[in-house]
Amino acid sequence: MSRSLAVWGTTSGAGKSLVTTGLARWFARQGVRVVPFKAQNMSNHARVVEGGEIGAAQWLQALAAGVDPDVRMNPVLTKPEADGRSQVVVLGQVDEDLSRAAWRGRATSVWPRVVDALDDLRADADLVLVEGAGSPAETNLADVDLANLATADHLDAPALLLADIDRGGAFAHLFGTWSLVPDDHRHRIAGFVLNRFRGDPTLLAPAPEELSGRTGVPTIGVLPELAHRLPDEDGASFAPVVRGGRPRVGVVRYPTASNLDELAGVVEVADVVAATEPRHLVDAELIVLPGAKHVTSDAAWLRTSGVGAAIRGAAEAGVRVLGICGGAQLLGEDVVDADGVEGPAGVRVDGLGLLPLRTELHRAKVVRATTIELPRELARPWEAVAGRRARAYEIHHGHTGPTDDGRQVWSHGPVLAVTAHGLLEDPDVVEVLLGRRPTGLDATFDLLADAVEEHLDTEQLRRIAGFDG
């Protein structure tokens, strides 16, 4: 019989994904076969695994645990497309009926499939690490809370409750959440964790003891703010912090920018700025147009924001411009929504016109692992990456190019477009482009596990999870 441990947060952004990843590596180090699980994820950052796509967070957690990522680890992935509309992916595949269904009606429909996936997944595991979503105390959502309450109830799982102490009010967040969690679930909260602390944890006394006195729940540790290399669940965090002597990279943040997690290595070695205004691209040595969940609306945003004109100006000045998947589509002449994937069928929008490409969006979704193979001859300033190969994945609708021949790469002068994700996850490519080599995922997983070992009461942690001593 497998054991289970849930990781809940007092708020969104409390660090659930990161802490779950660290716990996955720490337990794996103890010889425990760990599998991550999140019943329902809302994110436009997905990865391709056998059978389809899952949220990037569970993909990373599986790698940290040393197991193959699996669609069962994130059976429901909701990908926002606009206010009030989202694409629903169930066990790796788009479910058109659920995507059109009313939001509250989805939970009843998908729960049996969630349970089947979870029971199948945990059959060969020693420990299921369950990442929650938002907060378990959102009383307006209790009846549809699959990721927190329903999953923990099905597994009879104890839970750690995290608070981001850097936000302030952490003890009130913990006590308030504990108080509002439904009575029949409150007993599951077995330990509090304070996350992202800057300073001396001894200064927190007597607050942890007072909180324990009020709730009966111990604080099992205080995790410091870590200079880790993993992205937030909703994408990499880009802060325009100039450290000196590092390349400046502008990442265009149109409204539905997606798969930003693949830029974590770039964030590590460069000063990365989220470009939402033309001025953000000034002095950039590399401009990246990332994936886009809703290409037609992002094309309009590029035009009205002035960022599109700034990109064209930079390209004319010889600045390297890289478009990835949806970003590649935006670099072309136009995008035609042939099947009405993003709106009315037949709508055409102008791209940036930097490459002679046309994109036709079709209902069928391309989801597959692949390899990016850059041409053996590339013009300046891309000649250093000519002939490189990188593991990659495709997640898109329709095709891009002069013809539907499966081609993945186009270039013209300083502009390069690739229809697959993954090029900037290759350490060799990043080193050649930016002059510094990222440390890679394993080093980050170990950093997180080291923090668990040093800053949490691991004896209590093992007992909470059902392991002795």
Task: Specify whether the CB–CB gap between 410 and 399 falls below 8 A.
Answer: no
Q: Please, which residues bridge with residue 36 across strands? A: 129
Q: What is the DSSP string of 337-349?
A: ETT-SSSSTTEEE
Based on the fold, state whether residues 137 and 201 are members of the same structural domain. yes
**What is the arithmetic mean of pLDDT over 269-280?**
95
Q: Indicate if 421 belongs to the active site.
A: yes
Q: Which of 185, 399, 421, 455 is catalytic?
A: 421
- Which range marks the domain in which residue 93 is found? 3-229+444-465
Based on the fold, state whether residues 461 and 422 are members of the same structural domain. no
Domain count, the chain: 2
Task: Specify whether the CB–CB gap between 290 and 257 falls below 8 A.
Answer: yes
Span of 14-28, 86-100, 306-320 with lowest mean pLDDT:
86-100
pLDDT band at 325; cut points 50, 70, 90: very high
Based on the fold, state whether residues 48 and 71 are members of the same structural domain. yes
Based on the fold, state whether residues 110 and 254 are members of the same structural domain. no
Residue 86: pLDDT above 90? Answer: no
Based on the fold, state whether residues 165 and 256 are members of the same structural domain. no
Q: Which of 45, 325, 396, 397 is catalytic?
A: 325
Residue 239: pLDDT above 60? Answer: no
Q: Indicate if 280 belongs to the active site.
A: no
- 316 domain residue, yes or no: yes
The predicted pLDDT at position 244 comes to 66
pLDDT band at 106; cut points 50, 70, 90: confident
- Residues 278-303: tens digit of each pLDDT: 999 999 999 999 999 999 999 999 99
The predicted pLDDT at position 241 comes to 52
CA distance 41 to 173: 23
- 17 domain residue, yes or no: yes
Average model confidence (pLDDT) for the chain? 92
**One-letter amino acid for residue 173 of the chain:** H
- 240 domain residue, yes or no: no
Based on the fold, state whether residues 202 and 347 are members of the same structural domain. no
User: Could you tell me the sign of the dihedral formed by the alpha carbons of 427, 429, 430, 431, in that order?
Assistant: positive
Based on the fold, state whether residues 120 and 224 are members of the same structural domain. yes
- Residues 137-183: tens digit of each pLDDT: 998 888 889 999 999 999 999 999 999 999 899 999 999 999 999 99
Residue 2: pLDDT above 80? Answer: yes
- Residues 343-387: tens digit of each pLDDT: 899 999 999 999 999 999 998 899 999 999 999 999 999 999 999
- 238 domain residue, yes or no: no
